[in-house]
Structure 1
């Protein structure tokens, strides 16, 4: 009805449709799916690595094509344990990584740290059932969902609703009101607000921080060799977890949601460079990505 009633909105939607229709051309879609399937069928096995990097995707690794290319080159050269920790689902994470020509991770932490996918003995990704059981233990999804409906939650699309994640729209003010409402209703859940417009409701045991720690333990990676990187509110808990050790954290130069003011630990690096260049800057500072950027490139990035 809004499209029919508001000509300006109709024009805006039409322009967006014309600009993006190419993404849904079958030949392009088939090519992208083929690349993703090749990654799944021929996974790169995890080997002993000097560092495990767990990074957010959107606006942390994406946002700057040249620095994304430098990041990809570093992964190929130094072969770290590369994990992504994202708010996106597994299929969406794969799609965005492919869109930005970023390497396929060995570990996927998806849906705001509620799903952990680790490689099995043959390198195939499988849901970490131990972490899943931990989340199930204190999560009454039906009760939380009823409480959200009572609140008048502004839901995101159904595809964004997951087993351990209920997602909607709203700013920090709404998130605080929702937090109080769930407490009054006795719903055991945590609220994660990010990007000034997204709200995720998760089990108390969930989050990118606990998920990264669980993945590191399963892979036998000591926490003092784990580095996390992020830019927004749903990265807060994993960055906060390394403020005083034993891991390390990188806050990229384009960070938002007031993270620079909220985080200041001695093992947390505040990069000047934005996006993937900021991640490389932090890794280089920690001694894990030496010479990943030539001095002139680093100067431009900063």
Structure 2
């Protein structure tokens, strides 16, 4: 990776993303956003002041989709690549089912960043799910966060409610309320929000409580004018296009002509996903009800890619079925073409030019269109447009003066607008020329990247500088700090770190002297508040990592940011209410105080008796409860999720931050430290240990110091050469 220039990570989590042969329209998740982020990545990477662009998406290994989506790294230009991160398993799934897996993507992207050797200068999230991942990483690394929403949940919910769906139905299908909450937080957190139009701010973002806190910049996307060149270019320049373009024209003409009785007529073109909101039925109805329009022009609708309608999801299947029924109702055989597939990279640009050559018109009748990228593509080819008045087309037609806005709910208005352009050749020519000329002025990737990089430079300059001092290093964003260090020290608090003030005051300066290569943390049975309290009482600066409540909670640095990925990881099959019910019947157990109970910890007092401990295990196992049990100091019994423990928390940190277990030293004195002392870490047991750890003597990689408390930690650091060289 180049070291000079800005390093940008783009996040587009859902859908099918690959560098070539895009499957746009295959499903509701693989639409214009996929093309947008790919072209943005390439355009940014072409800039001299950009070092690298990584487009982060989900890795998919599924027989139902191409093996292309299982490739972890796919270069798409010299300085741009698609990076695929596995989360939520390997099967392809719709975006609404990904919410519970996004913290896994955060963790694995973090690991990727650590291994790559450079922290991104900016995280740019696309759509709500990509925004969530980018925002979490930006917070962890203290880097700027930029967001492009594409389509916002609150506006979608408003539309669906107006169509008669209930809130319960909408949430069941789209998890919309959770999405709206995430988007509202993103608006508050993002240093910059890119929108394509002013309409997007006024009609979509204004629906959120944090609307006023957002930093908005109108920055419409560009198109590749080398691909979407004017329809007349091949007639004037024999070198315009290549053999694949000419072949695409032949294929398209053959496909369209098999539907039409009079292929010499102009044609009306629509190109979109088979989605109710795209209002394909409204366009067919407008055409079917207008005999004059049918006499003037044919109609061609390219509604995504399909094989068997019966096997498609409900939304797509219903739309395509309605198309066929309307075709039959209005007897549009010989006039309406509905091809089953098309190639977006080659055939679509040629399709626009074919339509323009016929003196046709491009129609976007969507109920709402956040932006309208296909409208710009059509305009660049010289094809006049008719488009919905709700959304981005208002800005496009205001900028380009290349078509007519319509109310998509009024079929006569759609038909009249089409006829007006089709029968008036002077108007058609004016709209055609305006589109070609003004798209290059308003909608180029070059101007988009200018605005993007200017915004990035601005937000980077506004980030607080971190002084190169001990205090500055401690206050560095935890992500950047943990990305740089090579070793980790984790210690229990009571009777290990704390217990002898004199040796503690020797240890702390030693840790500070090694701060640039060694991060350190504590692991304790105490809750967070009690942990902070005891550290402050002994004048211990807040460490980099705090593992609290017997390994069920992880917090970071000065801000005490919780590790959400750990919470989601240990929540799997955790049933605290069942545990409390079943163990509550055992008279020898006494529930600990309410403040000692935590979401992932059920705690009791129990006398030191092996038979009683065996009875607890028996009850939990009979009831098929998966759990992890910790008994310590002869009285404290903690029931945790089976995925949680001090040791598992440390292994999770090792994985997440890409610090090998061999470079982690753990220190303890009692039974609740056993899980973190075992394994491939460098274990240190202080001389004042309790009898539960006696069984660990002689085990590999566990050093029993002859020094107590913090002096034992110092002894262990020297024993394992953790405060010597880097190696």
Shift of 1:229: 0.6
**Deviation readout 1:106-148 (Å, 9 max, x if unpaired):** 11111000111235xxx63322222211211121111111112
Equivalent positions of 1:20-35 (< 5 A) are: none
* Matches of 1:257 and 1:103, distance apart in 2: 30
* Matches of 1:276 and 1:269, distance apart in 2: 15
* Matches of 2:497 and 2:476, distance apart in 1: 20
SS of equivalent residue, structure 1 residue 151: coil
* Matches of 1:134 and 1:194, distance apart in 2: 25
CA RMSD in angstroms comes to: 1.8
* Counterpart residue number, 1:75: 511
* Matches of 1:161 and 1:43, distance apart in 2: 31
Residues 196 and 257 in structure 1, CA contact (< 8 A), matched pair in contact too: no
Match of 2:475 among 35, 38, 43: 43
* Matches of 2:512 and 2:618, distance apart in 1: 47
**Deviation readout 1:217-239 (Å, 9 max, x if unpaired):** 22222222111110001101111
Residues 552 and 644 in structure 2, CA contact (< 8 A), matched pair in contact too: yes
* Counterpart residue number, 1:215: 653
Kindly tell me: are residues 70 and 50 of structure 1, through their superposed partners in 2, closer, same or farther at Cα, counting changes over 3 Å?
farther
Kindly tell me: are residues 263 and 184 of structure 1, through their superposed partners in 2, closer, same or farther at Cα, counting changes over 3 Å?
farther
1:179 is aligned to 2:613: no
Runs of 4+, deviation exceeding 4 Å: none
Larger-gyration structure (1/2):
2
* Counterpart residue number, 2:586: 151
* Counterpart residue number, 2:379: none
* Counterpart residue number, 1:91: 529
* Counterpart residue number, 1:227: 665
How many residues are matched? 243
* Matches of 1:129 and 1:263, distance apart in 2: 36
Greater displacement, 49-58 / 59-68: 49-58
* Matches of 1:183 and 1:59, distance apart in 2: 33
* Matches of 1:225 and 1:103, distance apart in 2: 23
Residues 486 and 659 in structure 2, CA contact (< 8 A), matched pair in contact too: no
* Matches of 2:723 and 2:705, distance apart in 1: 14
Q: TM-score, normalised by structure 1?
A: 0.76
* Matches of 1:57 and 1:107, distance apart in 2: 13
Shift of 1:214: 1.1
Q: Which runs of 5+ in 1 are unaligned?
A: 1-38, 291-302
Kindly tell me: are residues 263 and 166 of structure 1, through their superposed partners in 2, closer, same or farther at Cα, counting changes over 3 Å?
farther
Match of 1:133 among 561, 568, 575: 568
Q: Which runs of 5+ in 2 are unaligned?
A: 1-470
* Matches of 1:162 and 1:58, distance apart in 2: 20
* Matches of 1:63 and 1:94, distance apart in 2: 16
* Matches of 2:554 and 2:626, distance apart in 1: 21
1:258 is aligned to 2:692: yes
Equivalent positions of 1:158-169 (< 5 A) are: 158-169=594-605
Greater displacement, 267-276 / 214-223: 214-223
Residues 171 and 193 in structure 1, CA contact (< 8 A), matched pair in contact too: no
* Counterpart residue number, 1:114: 552
* Counterpart residue number, 2:719: 285
Residues 69 and 102 in structure 1, CA contact (< 8 A), matched pair in contact too: no
Shift of 1:166: 0.7
Residues 111 and 162 in structure 1, CA contact (< 8 A), matched pair in contact too: yes
Shift of 1:84: 0.7
* Counterpart residue number, 2:676: 238
Greater displacement, 169-178 / 149-158: 169-178
1:55 is aligned to 2:476: no
